[in-house]
Amino acid sequence: AQKVTQAQTEISVVEKEDVTLDCVYETRDTTYYLFWYKQPPSGELVFLIRRNSFDEQNEISGRYSWNFQKSTSSFNFTITASQVVDSAVYFCALSEAGQAGTALIFGKGTTLSVSS
């Protein structure tokens, strides 16, 4: 069965600190997709990144970076030099390939609070 685990329920940091959000997933499929979404206090879900199971390259986008390791079934997200605007709930999600209707399985989310 598919499962996404975000063990960190809440994280609090001070501005400019680096922070890593952990995500561990379970799937029996060999082809799957991993995602990170951000949900700010306003409530919308903002897509951040997608990673294919066959592409283990890490990715950096500005202050954001992602580390995908199939060997440990992890897809961790690091924010460098955090800012107050990064305060949000972050969800890691998994989707299996093969069908047009494959839904996202979300983790429970990590609430990140960045104080000034």
Partner 1 sequence: AAGVIQSPRHLIKEKRETATLKCYPIPRHDTVYWYQQGPGQDPQFLISFYEKMQSDKGSIPDRFSAQQFSDYHSELNMSSLELGDSALYFCASRRTGTPYEQYFGPGTRLTVT
Least spacing, CB of residue 99 vs partner 1, in Å: 7
The DSSP code sequence of 8-45 is: -SEEEEETT--EEE--EEE-S-SSEEEEEEEE-TT---
**If we measure between CA atoms, which residue out of 103, 87, 85 comes closest to residue 95?**
103
Looking at the Cβ atoms of 61 and 99, the one nearer to partner 1 is 99
User: Which residues, numbered 37-96, are part of the site for partner 1 (CB under 8 A)?
Assistant: 37, 43-47, 50, 91, 95
Among 30, 57, 61, 99, binds partner 1 (CB under 8 A): 99
Closest CB 115 distance from partner 1, rounded Å? 21
Strands 32-39 and 46-52: antiparallel
102 versus 113: smaller Cβ distance to partner 1? 102
The tokens for 99 are: 């069908």
Query: Of 33, 61, 62, 82, which one interacts with partner 1 (CB under 8 A)?
Result: 33
Task: Give the separation between CA 12 and CA 79, rounded to whole angstroms.
Answer: 13
Quick one: which of 35, 66, 68, 75 contacts partner 1 (CB under 8 A)? Answer: 35
Residue 53 and residue 44: Cα distance in Å, rounded? 26
Which chain residues interact with partner 1 by CB under 8 A? 33, 35, 37, 43-47, 50, 91, 95, 97, 99-109
